[in-house]
């Protein structure tokens, strides 16, 4: 496995961990690491609320990247209680496509860290509804 995936895993692991913020908000059940084209790793955790105010870990990490002046994604990795991770949800996929409509298909996503299964966003989202 490329070292960068291990670095991303370690970065996500560092912020991973469920915690209760209030009677209405929990976070950290899922953590994500996004590698930008510049080579910097940005992390985010999921935030769950009793209504729809929360956010997925992936989008939180992407927003962290945008907040820090970057906008191009190279790789995405997620840690969840389920060891096989799984791919990002439809909303997270849609955000990545809209951020990079010309090149989103090249974004590499770790689907299963233990078995080193990597897919591109193009494989996960072959026919974009606008494109």
Task: Encode 53-80 in three state secondary structure.
Answer: CCECHHHHHHHHHHHCCCCCEEEEEEEC
- Closest contact distance (angstroms) between CB of 122 and Zn ion is 18
Residues 42 and 73: beta-carbon distance below 8 Å: no
Pairing of strands 73-79, 108-112: parallel
Q: Looking at 3-11, 51-59, 60-68, 115-123, which segment touches Zn ion (CB under 5 A)?
A: 51-59
Q: How many residues bind Zn ion (CB under 5 A)?
A: 3
95 binds Zn ion (CB under 5 A): no
Choice from 50, 89, 98, 131 touching Zn ion (CB under 5 A): 89
Angle at 118 between CA 100 and CA 82, to 5 degrees: 105
Q: Looking at 38-46, 89-97, 113-121, 123-131, which segment touches Zn ion (CB under 5 A)?
A: 89-97
Applying CB under 5 A, which residues contact Zn ion? Answer: 56, 89, 92
């Amino acid at each position: 496995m490329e070292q960068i995936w291990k670095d991303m895993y370690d970065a996500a692991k560092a912020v991973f961990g469920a915690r209760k913020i209030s009677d209405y908000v929990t976070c950290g059940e899922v953590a994500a690491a996004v590698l930008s084209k510049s080579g910097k790793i940005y992390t985010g955790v999921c935030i769950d609320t009793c209504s729809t105010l929360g956010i997925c870990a992936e989008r939180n990490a992407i927003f962290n990247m945008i907040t820090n002046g970057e906008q191009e994604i190279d790789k995405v990795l997620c840690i969840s209680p389920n060891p096989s991770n799984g791919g990002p949800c439809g909303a997270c996929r849609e955000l990545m496509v809209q951020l990079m409509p010309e090149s989103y298909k090249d974004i590499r996503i770790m689907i299963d860290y233990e078995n080193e299964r990597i897919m591109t966003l193009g494989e996960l989202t072959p026919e974009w509804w606008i494109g």
